[in-house]
Structure 1
Amino acid sequence: MEITEIPLLFAGGLLAGFINVMAGGAGFMTFPLLLAAGMTEIEANASNFVAVLPANVVGTFVYRRELAKVRKHLGLRLFLAASGGVLGSWILIHTGQAAFEKVIPWLLTFATASFALGPWIKNKLERDFAFDGTRWMWLSFVLEFIVFVYGGYFGLGMGIVMFAIYSIFSHMTIHQANAIRNVTITLMTVISIAIFANAGVIRWAPSLVMMSGAMISGYFTAKVAMRIPHHWVRRGILIWAVCLTALAFRRYL
């Protein structure tokens, strides 16, 4: 890592902290910066887990009061996060990610559409079919596990998909969903980091520089996010999701 790269990596961490607390998906900003620091593709992906971890840790702390309101099924969700993270990270280490990059834009398109249409789908199901998502929690948990496997493998945009799932299958507010998202992704990320570190694919110096920026930004962003009205937070997440998807098509297709 060159000395001139430090300010860029730190600034990337600041941006990552803001985006990850608000919506997730900061990897599309930080991943290219880590590649620019001379890492291989898999090194950049693994190091990215380290760089953005503080944002979710800080988010978990700040949203702790919201988390207390949705403790039901939290233990199961933490188990799904842990087991999904192990499986996804194992797959990455043993198969590589080159082939997976080809489908990333399409997965993010699905994620963005799911988040955008989630409330409409939920209202239509409730109005036309008397659908109660809380009666289909088993399906929610299956989908969440799949998202955690994806998260352990690559993770870009997983927060957006989780928001969509919570929107359809629960009555949580955006802040309560954010609380669960932060704590589960934190656990999954810690486990994935342990697996990647054991495999020797993490470049620690650039990761820690970016992590320091994410830690600072994550704290202040989470504090601000709690004061922003529900609909403004949702609009901000959707705008970021659209931008994230567009960047994916530009980069990988």
Structure 2
Amino acid sequence: MDGLEALAVMAAGMGAGGINAVIGSGSLISFPTLLAVGYAPITANVSNNIGLVPGAISGAYGYRRELAGQGRRARTLAVASGTGGLCGGILLLTLPSQVFDAIVPVLVLLAVVLMALQPRLARWVAERRPDDARDVGPAPMAIAFVAGVYGGYFGAAQGIILLAMLAVFVPDDLRRSNALKNVLAGTVNGVAAILFTLFAHVAWEAVALIAVGSVVGAWLGAKVGRRIPATVLRTLVVLLGVGVALRLLLT
């Protein structure tokens, strides 16, 4: 990797970290960049995953005020997300990708529909929840697990899936949901990164460049994301999700 390629990879890491902090799907910047500079797909995927972990930590720290009071739900959902991330990482290393790849656009489009209908669905869910219901039930746990499987396998748009799930099934201010989304996505990437470090071929130079860029990008992204009104954030998620799904369908 020459100097210009290294700068491109670092810049891609910065863009990915920022987008992940605000919405999700930053891997659609960093992963293709690694392919463009010559890495094999699986090596690019696992290296990208590991490199984005520090950015996830940076993004979660940037949203620390929005995470206040969410410790219990974060711990509960992180178990499901982390378990799913481990399963997804194992699938990446052991199974052919054709079948799994076929359902990825469907998952993303479903998340887009959930996010677009979030206010109405959240009211519907709230009206039918018992007054003493816990704020994390089986539905968000199941979706967090499925999103974790997807995130451990590929990762792009797992943030959209998680944010849509939280917005509908764990009613709260959307910016607080976005902060929790960063914790769960970081958990998925962290668990998968441990697996990849032990059992996959990793391009550590690429990891280092993406890590540096993603930390800076996530810190900046958190500053922007916490100031975006909920309606604007929801619109951005829907637009980006449609774009992600179309790109995955056409590749």
Q: Calculate the TM-score normalised by the size of structure 2.
A: 0.90
Supply the AA of the counterpart residue of 1:187. T
Q: CA deviation at 1:73?
A: 2.8
Tell me if 1:206 matches 2:206. yes
Moved more, 89-98 or 39-48: 89-98
Contact 2:53 2:186 in 1 (8 A): yes
Instruction: Give matches, 1:143-154, under 5 Å.
Output: 143-154=143-154
Residues in 2 aligned to 1:3 and 1:125: alpha-carbon distance in whole angstroms: 52
Q: CA deviation at 1:125?
A: 5.4
Tell me if 1:162 matches 2:162. yes
Task: Provide, for residues 181-233 of structure 1, a one-character-per-residue CA deviation record: whole Å limited to 9, x for no partner.
Answer: 11122222111111111113221112221222211111111112222222222
**Partner residue of 1:80?**
80
**Partner residue of 2:37?**
37
Q: CA deviation at 1:19?
A: 0.8
Contact 2:116 2:235 in 1 (8 A): no
Residues in 2 aligned to 1:170 and 1:194: alpha-carbon distance in whole angstroms: 29
Contact 2:27 2:48 in 1 (8 A): yes
Supply the AA of the counterpart residue of 2:187. L
Instruction: Give matches, 1:42-121, under 5 Å.
Output: 42-121=42-121
Q: CA deviation at 1:249?
A: 2.2
**Partner residue of 1:131?**
128
**Partner residue of 2:9?**
9
Q: Residues 21 and 37 (structure 1 numbering): CA distance in 2 closer, same or farther, change over 3 Å?
A: same
**Gap runs ≥5 in structure 2:** none
State the number of aligned residues.
Answer: 248
Q: CA deviation at 1:111?
A: 2.1
CA RMSD of aligned residues (A): 2.0
Supply the AA of the counterpart residue of 1:169. F
Contact 2:111 2:165 in 1 (8 A): no
Q: Residues 122 and 187 (structure 1 numbering): CA distance in 2 closer, same or farther, change over 3 Å?
A: closer
Moved more, 98-107 or 172-181: 98-107
- SS of corresponding position for 1:201: coil
Q: CA deviation at 1:178?
A: 1.6
Q: Residues 171 and 107 (structure 1 numbering): CA distance in 2 closer, same or farther, change over 3 Å?
A: closer
Contact 1:25 1:158 in 2 (8 A): yes
Contact 2:125 2:169 in 1 (8 A): no
Contact 1:17 1:215 in 2 (8 A): yes
Tell me if 1:230 matches 2:230. yes
Moved more, 97-106 or 75-84: 97-106
Residues in 2 aligned to 1:230 and 1:168: alpha-carbon distance in whole angstroms: 13
- SS of corresponding position for 1:102: helix
Contact 2:118 2:168 in 1 (8 A): yes
Tell me if 1:215 matches 2:215. yes
Contact 1:18 1:218 in 2 (8 A): yes
- SS of corresponding position for 2:217: helix
Contact 1:81 1:187 in 2 (8 A): yes
Task: Provide, for residues 60-80 of structure 1, a one-character-per-residue CA deviation record: whole Å limited to 9, x for no partner.
Answer: 111112212222333222222
**Partner residue of 2:186?**
186
- SS of corresponding position for 2:117: helix
Q: Give identity over the alignment, percent.
A: 27
Q: CA deviation at 1:176?
A: 1.1
